[in-house]
Amino acid sequence: MSALEPRPGVARLAPYVQGKSSLEGVREPIKLSSNESSQGPSPLAIDAYTSYADQLNRYPDGNQWELRKAIGEVHGLDPDRILCGNGSDELIQLMVRAYVGGDHQALLSENGFVMSNIHCISQGAELVIAPEKNYRVDVDAMLERVTQKTRFCTIANPNNPTGTYLSGDELRRLHAGLPDNCLFLVDDAYAEYVTATDYSDGADLVDEFDNVVMTRTFSKIYGLPALRIGWAYCPTGVFNLVQRIRTPFNTNGPALAAAAAAVRDQDFMLAVKEENTLWRDRISSHLRGLGVEVIPSQANFYLLRFDEASGKSGSEAAQFLQSQGIIPRPAGGSDQFLRITIGMAAENEAVLKALDDYMSNS
Ligand SMILES: *Cc1c(COP(=O)(O)O)cnc(C)c1O
């Protein structure tokens, strides 16, 4: 037996389980388990990535300046307060490490994205989890749970795995009820997919208050998850603090170059968004027609709930989809739910056909 003693928070953690990516006996499965973009990245991003090959002997720019400038220009944000990370996962972890300790509580929502839970637990913090209503963050339930120990609050907007979102007004109301010494992190991994007109990404709150951070990623609509690039828009105080614990070369050169090209190609991004919207509407109405509950999504995936009374279940549907070469993702820690990423036309057609078959077989 080892005499090593891990910190209690770390010892409590269970390992993260990645979405499945292979199926036995299927050569090219349709992988719809990780909310990846089937359309891939902009060709300009691929060019920037491959052109970087002759500079691999040099350290990348530790200031990440080209990418920060590109993001600042495209989004109309102050590049001095943009921080890039090894995926937005790293940025969330850096924020938690900088602000959350063993005496603190982290305020989270019932179906929130699990990575922030993991980082908070590893810091030794206590998780306080507010229930949701209709699979949406419930602002009142969150605010009822604020205590003197609440130092961190986060929501993903839209959220994964539900796909639901808070409006700009609701986001502002949630922030307004949090103490000034509580960091409010808005994880906008799916912001680009949103079509709801009352949505706000929260950048306005970052500009207005010194305790709000917005994180974004190149892993979803920009189709670059392999490169691990995300970014955070921060108040100056948060930026300066997190800079101290960031490793100087946390983002690599080819990734920085590809991401800068990707964000400058907004035409490509908008085309991906348009295709996603089309399929999101089509799939939702088709599946509702079959009697499957589709949680209203603003993202590039949809969460399905199968009614036990009808003798159908998420796990059984998942098995059936897999028998057809399609990989969905279980969700919600329950047998009722299934999360499926929106893919290319042929992939989506295959899902609909399989679910038609599954639902009509009693
Ligand atoms: C996919 C996802 C991310 C992105 O993580 P990266 O580390 O940037 O790849 C962040 N938050 C949520 C809610 C996600 O679903």
pLDDT tens digits along 80-104 = 999 999 999 999 999 999 999 999 9
Determine phi and psi for 168, rounding to 5 degrees.
-55, -40
The pLDDT tens digits for 275-296 are 999 999 999 999 999 999 999 9
Average pLDDT (177-197) is 98
Which protein residue has the closest C-alpha to ligand 1 atom 3?
189
Distance 219 CA to ligand 1 centre (A): 7
The pLDDT assigned to 361 comes to: 81
Domain with CATH 3.40.640.10 in the chain: 43-264
Count of CB atoms within 10 A of residue 289's CB? 10
The helix (run of H) or strand (run of E) holding residue 261 is helix 253-264
Half-sphere exposure of 237 (CA within 13 A, CB side): 10
Distance 223 CA to ligand 1 centre (A): 12
As beta bridge partners, residue 152 has: 106, 183
The pLDDT assigned to 252 comes to: 98
Cα–Cα distance for residue pair 318/324, rounded to 1 Å: 10
The helix (run of H) or strand (run of E) holding residue 9 is helix 8-12
Does the pLDDT value for residue 352 go beyond 90?
yes
Distance 38 CA to ligand 1 centre (A): 16
Distance 160 CA to ligand 1 centre (A): 9
The pLDDT assigned to 135 comes to: 96
Average pLDDT (176-196) is 98
CB within 8 Å of 310: residues ≥ 6 apart: 291
Cβ atoms of 84 and 70 within 8 Å: the answer is no
Residue 197, both tokens: 């007109």
Ligand 1 site residues, Cβ closer than 6 angstroms:
35, 87-89, 113, 156, 160, 187, 189, 217, 219-220, 225, 230
Least confident residue range of 113-122, 187-196, 205-214, 298-307: 113-122
Which protein residue has the closest C-alpha to ligand 1 atom 12?
189
The pLDDT assigned to 313 comes to: 93
139, with CB counted inside 10 A (0-12, 13-18, 19+), is: buried
Residue of 137, 187, 227, 263 with the most ligand 1 atoms within 8 Å of its CB, for mutation: 187
Half-sphere exposure of 124 (CA within 13 A, CB side): 6
The pLDDT assigned to 1 comes to: 67
Cα–Cα distance for residue pair 20/17, rounded to 1 Å: 9
Q: What confidence tier does 209 reach under pLDDT thresholds 50, 70, 90? A: very high
The pLDDT tens digits for 120-144 are 999 999 999 999 999 999 999 999 9
Residue of 114, 160, 341 with the most ligand 1 atoms within 8 Å of its CB, for mutation: 160
Least confident residue range of 116-125, 172-181, 184-193, 263-272: 116-125
Percent of the chain with pLDDT over 90: 87
Distance 231 CA to ligand 1 centre (A): 11
Residue of 35, 86, 89 with the most ligand 1 atoms within 8 Å of its CB, for mutation: 89
The pLDDT assigned to 345 comes to: 96
| Confidence (pTM) | 0.96
Cβ atoms of 192 and 273 within 8 Å: the answer is yes
What three-state secondary structure class fits 306? coil
Nearest to 222 by CA among 41, 35, 39: 41
What three-state secondary structure class fits 284? helix
Average pLDDT (11-15) is 83
Q: What value, to the nearest 5°, has the Cα angle with vertex 184 and ends 123 and 179?
A: 95
The pLDDT tens digits for 21-68 are 888 888 889 999 999 999 999 999 999 999 999 999 999 999 999 999
Average pLDDT (288-311) is 94
The pLDDT assigned to 24 comes to: 82
Cβ atoms of 151 and 106 within 8 Å: the answer is yes
The pLDDT assigned to 362 comes to: 58
Residue 240, both tokens: 């300066």
Distance 156 CA to ligand 1 centre (A): 9
Cβ atoms of 39 and 265 within 8 Å: the answer is no
Residue 191, both tokens: 């912001």
The pLDDT assigned to 334 comes to: 79
Distance 44 CA to ligand 1 centre (A): 23
Domain with CATH 3.90.1150.10 in the chain: 18-40+267-360
Count of CB atoms within 10 A of residue 359's CB? 18
Distance 359 CA to ligand 1 centre (A): 32
Ligand 1 atom at minimum distance from 88 CA: 8
Nearest to 111 by CA among 89, 72, 149, 142: 142
- Correct CATH for 43-264 of 3.40.50.300, 3.30.1060.10, 3.30.9.30, 3.40.640.10: 3.40.640.10
Residue of 34, 88, 186, 187 with the most ligand 1 atoms within 8 Å of its CB, for mutation: 88
Q: Which fold has domain 18-40+267-360?
A: Aspartate Aminotransferase, domain 1 (3.90.1150)
